Amino acid sequence: MRAKQSFFKRQRILGVVICGGSCAFVGAQSTEMSVTTYPPVHVVEKPLEYRQFEKVEITGSSIVRKEQTLALPVRVITRQEIDKKGHLSVTQVVQSLTQVFNSVDRTQSGNLLGGFNNGALHGMPTGTLVLLNGRRLAPFGIQNISGTEVAQVDLDSLPLAAVDRIEVLSDGASSLYGTDAIAGVINVITRTDRQGVEITADLSRPQGGVGQAWRSSLSWGRGQLQRDGFSLRLTAEIDEEKAMGMSDRSAGSQGRVFFEHQGNPFHIDSPKVSSFTAPALLYSPSAKNNKMWSYLFKDGQCTHESISYRGFLGGCKVNLLPTYDLYPDSQNRKLHLSGEYRLHEGATFFAEGLYTRQKTNMASLDWTPISGRLVNRVDSVGYSEAVAQGLDPANAFYFFQPDLPALQRTRDKTQWRASVGVKGEIEHWNYQASLYSARSQVITGAEYGDIGRLGLIKSTPLPSAWVLLPLDAQNPLTQQILDTRQWQKDREGQTQLTAFDVRASKAVGERDGKDVLLGLGIEGRQEKAITRYLEASAAFPGFGDQRHVMAAHGELQIPVTSSWDLIASLRHDAYSDVGGTTNGKLASRLAISPLWAVRGSWGSGFRAPSVGQTMMLTEPYVHTVLSGLSCTPDLIAVTNTLTPTAGSSGVYCRNNKSMRVFTNGNPDLKPETSEQMTLGFALTPTRNFSISADYWRVQMKNTLQFESWTQVLANPLQNTNQFIPYPELVRNPGSNTQYNDVALLLKMRNLGMSVKGLDVDVRYRKPGDWGRWLLGLQATYMLKSKERQSETTEWTTDLAAYSSATNVVTPRWRSQWTLGLERSDVQWQMVIHHTTGYKDKDITAIRVDTGKSEVISSRKVPGFVTADVMGLFKVGTHTQIRTGVVNVTNRMPPLSFYSANGLSWGVNSDQGSLRGRTVQLGLTHKF
């Protein structure tokens, strides 16, 4: 009997558990049972809601999964992280990553390349593929036949307000996007959760109030796909930045730099220190004395921040760098529109549009310098001044160049992309098909000062005594020179990309309770590039070409065991101009326990030269002009072997003269091929602590690199085929004969490269009475970075040392240390940025105590540390206020004679910003 009662008790307990307290329960000892009557239930048949979007699309994979597998090292920068760090552009977000260095930024380097800004994963800009929502954009509009390659996406063309997150795949050769992603993929993913209206406004004020910037955006969204069957989003963004002059940052515009090396004092002048001055410099060479005279020389010394002329009495030089801009004046307008519409069960139509218009202006061009002889006549300009200063008017020269603000270079950039497609699920296949077209257009122009209209022409007498006085408001020549400025277009370029892609994936089997997944896809692209020179640059040849690319790819994910996944992929690309290539990739992830897992990958890559690089123009054209030529015995020996042109008496090398560097396309260029591998682990011992580390390596053959004139001039006998006679004849005034100067002809060529390193990510959070504390470390440690000119030459390294072969410095260690505090209404964060030092570029400097020139090599540039403090405050449920200070201690990068931007002197802008301490304030309000 007791057993039976116990049985009934267990049944009552089970009934309570099953019903969850919602069922009526009648005690076992009741003799009567009450009956509750419920209304009838009507079942209405309704199709199941479309749930395909619950699955995950992973950057770098064509398979749509139910969950993230982490087989590949993907770093995700969320919208919340972007807001907390106070970034104001996509460029800032990407270039702040420790994995990104040797990029082109907004300083003079970006200006010299047309206002271009890019991202370079692991220091490899041409191997970094930038995508918007998993699809390509047109590369920068102006392409180069040779020189620094700009066949990447301009990051400034992407609106930050539309960004939901940025996924960085630091493992190259994706089978989905293309094997040209040798270094990895930066996938910018836009927001899909817009509801209502959102406005933002941000203000940035650098130290001294110069170079201020502001950004504002208006975003609107309506509809939810799952609920309403459609969604629509619109983002409009405007940002402007005022120019920052080099005169505002002395660290980047020094004329004469004093420093110590190995306990000895030295000084060296900037390449922009010039003997062409305003007021004009007078010079009289003679056997008895070399004398100079300048209005800038007063009471035995040079005034007005001019620089003394070593070895010459009475002469002064000027530093032109303060007349340039360091950061440009820019205005950007960006518009992004996207939406989805559910067609029927399991299918959704999507569309997206992007339009960007950017204009930049930057003072970066010299006024024309002129020189000539004085006229040996009492009434001629400069005669009395020359006599008064002890110069011989019969053998005297003048050197003049306006010291007015540098002439402006302008860029007008337009980027657009339109895409449509459909995605969904049919017969268990998750599919996506899209068609898109993109275009990037750049028009460059510049101010040109035609001082020849005023009679200021090279090799003619001075027409006015005003050139011997300062160009100030009291000098009428000042305004006359400024009035000669005229703006002209000089170059126009356009790139176009038209493409389609179709991909699908499904489960094709099962092992150990996990799906075997298959992904397939095809892609077709047409790439065009056209560059032509206009008006002021009519002497430079234009070029244009196109190519077609067809590709097919497949990917298979196999669960070897319940905790071990293996992913194999294969891609074939057929290029219309360089042939076909097939490349594969293997990736694997093993979950050793629920707390930690290991992962690794191996693959091969392929990147074709850009559309213009293999073109051979009829005639080479001038790429740049090198000044201060040093005619070494080896260089003279090579010069003597050159064949002069008709009417020439010979080819000569002249010390301290300029040398022209010509260039052309190279039809013999081969595509880059590479092998990539990664090996890493992810450890999560507790829910509040995680650490991951990935070792990676890239080996490249036939790397596309512009020949280095530094190395060619350092070894003339090994580079004889790079020297040519300058085509135009130079007249010798003494003998009335004509001769050729020696010149260089450099092209793009194929080199070899090997890089490897370690990426580390550590995160820790600790709940406390004040809120949740956050600690973090992201770092990249480089183990190798080297190149070689050919299979038979030695490797040269740029790791922690300047290399004349690559003209860059690869830092050994870059890290970000984060300390944060999060509360429901307040978030604070401090970020410390650290970059290790390196061996500087070799220079020839003057030892102060002896006055003699010495070569300074292996000079150590110290590491660089800055700290940012940012705060985020929530006011109610609809308003967010952001405030903070970037570079709290107002630190400038240390003294370095390697300059990433090629113009600022004594500082490397790639190591740190020259803006200094910058106060930021931002507001976001949702309606």
3-state class of 377 per DSSP?
Answer: coil
Q: What are phi and psi of 718, to 5 degrees?
A: -90, -5
How remote is the C-alpha of 54 from its chain's centroid? 34
pLDDT at 36 over 70: no
Q: What are phi and psi of 452, to 5 degrees?
A: -65, -25
| Mean pLDDT on 473-502 | 93
Higher pLDDT, 396 or 30: 396
Angle at 291 between CA 289 and CA 297, to 5 degrees: 150
Of 880, 887, 842, which Cα lies nearest the Cα of 866?
Answer: 887
CB atoms within 10 A of CB 611: 23
pLDDT at 158 over 90: yes
Query: What confidence score (pLDDT) does residue 602 get?
Result: 92
3-state class of 721 per DSSP?
Answer: helix
Sorted by where each starts, the structural domains of the chain and their CATH numbers stand as 60-248+327-367+406-449+484-620+664-707+747-926 (2.40.170.20)
Query: What confidence score (pLDDT) does residue 5 get?
Result: 45
Higher pLDDT, 18 or 664: 664
Token digits of residue 706: 């512009």
Q: How far apart are the first and last CA of the chain?
A: 70
3-state class of 93 per DSSP?
Answer: helix
Round to whole Å and give the CA distance between 545 and 614.
Answer: 10
Q: What are phi and psi of 653, to 5 degrees?
A: -105, 125
Q: How confident is the model at residue 404 (pLDDT cuts 50, 70, 90)?
A: very high
Query: What confidence score (pLDDT) does residue 261 get?
Result: 92
pLDDT above 70 as % of the chain: 89
Q: How confident is the model at residue 900 (pLDDT cuts 50, 70, 90)?
A: low
pLDDT at 345 over 80: no
Report pLDDT digits (tens) over 507-524: 999 888 888 999 999 999
The DSSP string of 500-546 is EEEEEEEEEEEETTEEEEEEEEEEEEEEEEEEEE-GGGTTSPPEEEE
- Give me the chain's average pLDDT, please: 86
Name residue 430's beta-bridge partners: 425, 505
- Contacts of residue 456, Cβ cutoff 8 Å, sequence gap at least 6: 368, 370, 400, 463, 467
Report pLDDT digits (tens) over 817-839: 999 999 989 999 999 999 999 99
Angle at 657 between CA 653 and CA 660, to 5 degrees: 80
Report pLDDT digits (tens) over 757-809: 999 999 999 998 889 999 999 999 999 999 887 667 788 899 999 988 778 89
Does a cis peptide bond (omega within 30 degrees of 0) precede residue 279? yes
Asked which of 145-154, 270-279, 483-492 is least confident by mean pLDDT, the reply is 145-154
Query: What confidence score (pLDDT) does residue 109 get?
Result: 55
Q: How confident is the model at residue 19 (pLDDT cuts 50, 70, 90)?
A: very low
pLDDT at 29 over 60: no
| Mean pLDDT on 248-261 | 87
**Percentages (nearest 5) of helix, strand, coil residues in the chain:** 10, 50, 40
Round to whole Å and give the CA distance between 169 and 129.
Answer: 10
Query: What confidence score (pLDDT) does residue 622 get?
Result: 83
Token digits of residue 830: 């401090």
pLDDT at 87 over 50: yes
User: Is 680:693 a contact under the CB 8 Å cutoff?
Assistant: yes
Round to whole Å and give the CA distance between 373 and 394.
Answer: 9
Q: What are phi and psi of 471, to 5 degrees?
A: -85, 80
Higher pLDDT, 594 or 880: 880
DSSP 8-state secondary structure symbol assigned to residue 895: B
Query: What confidence score (pLDDT) does residue 303 get?
Result: 83
pLDDT above 90 as % of the chain: 50
- Contacts of residue 177, Cβ cutoff 8 Å, sequence gap at least 6: 60, 129, 131, 134, 136, 185
3-state class of 866 per DSSP?
Answer: strand
Report pLDDT digits (tens) over 618-650: 888 888 888 778 899 999 999 999 998 888 888
Report pLDDT digits (tens) over 545-583: 899 999 999 999 999 998 899 999 999 999 998 888 999
pLDDT at 913 over 60: yes
Query: What confidence score (pLDDT) does residue 48 get?
Result: 41
CB atoms within 10 A of CB 496: 18
Query: What confidence score (pLDDT) does residue 535 get?
Result: 58
pLDDT at 287 over 60: no
Round to whole Å and give the CA distance between 651 and 729.
Answer: 10
- Contacts of residue 288, Cβ cutoff 8 Å, sequence gap at least 6: none
Tell whether pTM > 0.75: yes
Round to whole Å and give the CA distance between 447 and 410.
Answer: 8
pLDDT at 693 over 50: yes
